[in-house]
Amino acid sequence: MRLNVRMNDSNLYAKILGLRKPWRVLTITVSEALKTITVFIGPEPGSRLRCPHCRQICPGYDSRARRWRHLDTCEYQTWIEADVPRVQCPEHGCVQVGIAWAGSHSRYTKKFEMMVLDWLRETTILAVSRRLGLSWSAIDGILRRAVTRGIDRRRVANDAHICVDEVAFAKGRDYVTIVSSAQRVLAVEDGRAAESLRRYFKVLGRKRCERLESVSMDMSGAYIKAALDSLPDAREKVAFDHFHVAKALSEAVDNTRKSELHRVDYGLRREIHRSRYDWLRRGTHLSDFGRERMQALSVSLLDTAMVWMLKEKAREIWHTGYHPRQSAKTWQVWIQAARQTGITALRGVANQIEARLWGILNAMRLRVSNARAEALNSQIRAMRVKARGYRNKARFMLGILFHYGKLNMAH
């Protein structure tokens, strides 16, 4: 059914679409069978056409039929159609005139894309796909364009303190590297090798790398290597936050408890098993009951109690704060004490701390905390679960930037 365009209809759609001169609504077609509305628009005849790049008035060349999906009109899928003119610009050649309602390569109007993005913030890709009748690749295109817009707009790296961490894409098999500041994800790189972080530094460029004040990371080798290779003054900037030291020590406590379990009286094993989380808590976070149980068990778990005590001692060193000469000495005393226990798991951590002491001292001096980055990473893991996994890694990486990049993706 073709409606005669009355002033009211065309005005309404011109307004809804935000059309500006020379564009106007020509006809509106309603299909009851397909439940669609198609709005044909076109430039007023004889209107002057401009090159989108230099804004010069140019002679028309030809036109191309194009079609965009727009926001539904009362449950009718709404489509915009137009023959979009191309002009012959002496400087830029044959180019399509600028259109205000859609991006140059999109099959959706800007308003439609923004609505899709709003939905994606609230729910999964699958739900958006069902609700709006869009294919995954259509949604992917909208997302990709939005994230690209946001990244192009973003002023890079005024963040002086950054964190690097890995997040699994598929459980334990495939990883991405996440570079973040306290507030937002700055970049997502493929893999978790030295090369992944090196790529980030390369994109950042030497000048911006020089402006970085701290790079917080865990104590494993790959990221350290990348920083030492590509970051100027890395020895002053790489920081191993207490979170990572505490994590290594908690693992040592747990492993020591497990190995001691086999040596204790059978009757005690159940009680020891029940106490397993207490040993991982900080002393100040223990309940009275937990503390008493630990004290009772330490007679049988001498090694575990020793590792736990040294874990608490390490926390104390950290919270005492940084002193230029004293901090290194205090750590050396700790390292000696840990080695003298002869406990295998603890000796491993002591060696690691000794080898990485320079970065631990940096973290104390720079007062670097990885807490925000860790919180961000657990949100990202939750996002992966909520999406019931991502079909491919590229989409996962895009999702991270979309949700946590704090990008300005407006059209």
List residues near Zn ion by CB under 5 A: 51, 53-54, 89, 91-92
Query: What's the DSSP call for residue 108?
Result: B
In the complex, minimum distance from the CB of residue 4 to Zn ion, in angstroms, rounded to a whole number: 38
Contact by Cβ (8 Å): 393, 190: yes
In the complex, minimum distance from the CB of residue 96 to Zn ion, in angstroms, rounded to a whole number: 12
Q: In the complex with Zn ion, which residue's Cβ is closer, 92 or 111?
A: 92
Q: In the complex with Zn ion, which residue's Cβ is closer, 54 or 170?
A: 54
Cis peptide preceding 22, ω within 30 of 0: yes
Closest to 276 measured CA to CA, from 254, 292, 296, 304: 254
The two structure tokens encoding residue 226: 């990348």
For 139, 145, 407, the CA distances from 152, given in Å and listed in that order, are 20, 10, 10
In the complex, minimum distance from the CB of residue 98 to Zn ion, in angstroms, rounded to a whole number: 11
Q: In the complex with Zn ion, which residue's Cβ is closer, 56 or 378?
A: 56
In the complex, minimum distance from the CB of residue 43 to Zn ion, in angstroms, rounded to a whole number: 18
C-alpha–C-alpha distance, residues 26 and 44, integer Å: 9
In the complex, minimum distance from the CB of residue 56 to Zn ion, in angstroms, rounded to a whole number: 5
Please, which residues have CB within 8 angstroms of residue 79's CB and are 6 or more apart in sequence? 36, 37, 38, 39, 67, 68, 69, 70
Closest to 351 measured CA to CA, from 226, 248, 227, 237: 248
Q: In the complex with Zn ion, which residue's Cβ is closer, 89 or 380?
A: 89
In the complex, minimum distance from the CB of residue 120 to Zn ion, in angstroms, rounded to a whole number: 35
C-alpha–C-alpha distance, residues 377 and 298, integer Å: 35
In the complex, minimum distance from the CB of residue 45 to Zn ion, in angstroms, rounded to a whole number: 23
Number of H helices, E strands in the chain: 16, 13
In the complex, minimum distance from the CB of residue 57 to Zn ion, in angstroms, rounded to a whole number: 10
For residues 251, 254, 256 and 258, what is the CA-based torsion angle, rounded to 10 degrees? -140
Q: In the complex with Zn ion, which residue's Cβ is closer, 89 or 252?
A: 89
Q: In the complex with Zn ion, which residue's Cβ is closer, 54 or 382?
A: 54
* Alpha helix positions (H), 299-325: 302-320
In the complex, minimum distance from the CB of residue 102 to Zn ion, in angstroms, rounded to a whole number: 20
Closest to 244 measured CA to CA, from 152, 144, 363: 363
C-alpha–C-alpha distance, residues 90 and 57, integer Å: 10
C-alpha–C-alpha distance, residues 164 and 169, integer Å: 16
In the complex, minimum distance from the CB of residue 97 to Zn ion, in angstroms, rounded to a whole number: 11
Q: In the complex with Zn ion, which residue's Cβ is closer, 51 or 380?
A: 51
In the complex, minimum distance from the CB of residue 51 to Zn ion, in angstroms, rounded to a whole number: 3
Q: In the complex with Zn ion, which residue's Cβ is closer, 91 or 316?
A: 91
Q: What is the DSSP string of 329-367?
A: HHHHHHHHHHHHT--HHHHHHHHHHHHTHHHHHHHHHHT
Q: In the complex with Zn ion, which residue's Cβ is closer, 88 or 275?
A: 88
Q: In the complex with Zn ion, which residue's Cβ is closer, 53 or 291?
A: 53
Q: In the complex with Zn ion, which residue's Cβ is closer, 87 or 252?
A: 87
What sign for the dihedral angle of Cα 46, 52, 55, 57? negative
Q: How many CB atoms lie within 10 A of CB 327?
A: 19
Residue nearest to Zn ion (CB): 51
For the chain, give the number of residues.
411
Query: What's the DSSP call for residue 160?
Result: S
68: β partners:
80
